[in-house]
Chain A
């Protein structure tokens, strides 16, 4: 599967990663080669094999619905870069 520079730019936006325009070609090439490895893996006959959603042969453990954590706001707030009135502050977002 071939990808183009534009795909890299789009993925970078979705992942909120800043990519140096000079490096886009490198990324396109290396990710393309990863995808061709996957293409190769796709050749394997997987008929009759259940898709795997988790590699562990185990099922989800359940938790009883009881409160186990107290309010630890002061401790959490202490490691945040910016807070006010108990809120975490982040750069302005609209929409």
Chain B
């Protein structure tokens, strides 16, 4: 199985090249009329899923059938889930309904968010950080982006685990105590807003072994929840939620920063903006910032590709649900060695997927060949070769992923020399013809 949760529905893909240009790490190529993903470059941002006009690129959460493999099942809903419902009066309605669709216990990820925030505040109170700004790693896509393109900043990333990971560890412990079952008979599943977290559930960057048994997409759970939520009698709604405003707020970009209380924080959403910000931080251009919260999706987790509702509406609904809630209900009170529960047990590593060669001298001569080839390409970024740009194509040729003849302009040159055809123009689509045509406007 691929490490990534972004998959291609083969029949639907027509090889249209829409996706290749929106990929921030240039990880997609079209070959034989189908998109293919360079797996070592994919950071699971979901851009290609959003842009595909044929709905051929998808992301899948785990199948709900996986629940059957366990004797006791715990749901870890991410706070973004609460923002998906119309006219929801109370989070308890969602949580009680989760118990009707196959889960035996619910442990809110928002609680783990509050624990992490409390831990961060204790850190801040303990004195100034050695290395600023601290970069949040609560978006797994951002962490993978840093591993791939900003390795120098790995030292700035927080050493803590993801909220859903902390929730999983604590929920499994609690469930084992309550039921007396061995931990492996307990299935712990997060309900997540994006493909990136499904990938993280299976192959965590900061943990040697996964602590979750899987992750379900919010949209899959949403459909199952609707009817139990409607049927739930007032008397059946038990008070279950134990998160406050700060925890819920983590679903929105800026929420994690706000929970730090009074720190100099920068919150950035959208993968392109995140890249721009990382460029600046890398050059030390924002020395006054203490903390950097980066979300690959617009507006934060409410913008994830597994959500049902649009990010802005979900944000508004979450804010409504916050009315009347306590500010925070969870404190990180572990002492001594117990505190290590919150830390990664493995350092995220540099992924040299963009490197031309391990040997710098070889890399340099490869670059020279790329430059030479690129100078003979038209620079139209037409995508006909299946690469996102002429530069990426030249790189592909030198790296052995494509052949020079894959460029239709190179092909035309060959046709000309071989057959002596002077006006190969007519064989080309209008944008590429030398002779000028005109477009008449609509009436």
Asked if A and B are interacting partners, one says: no
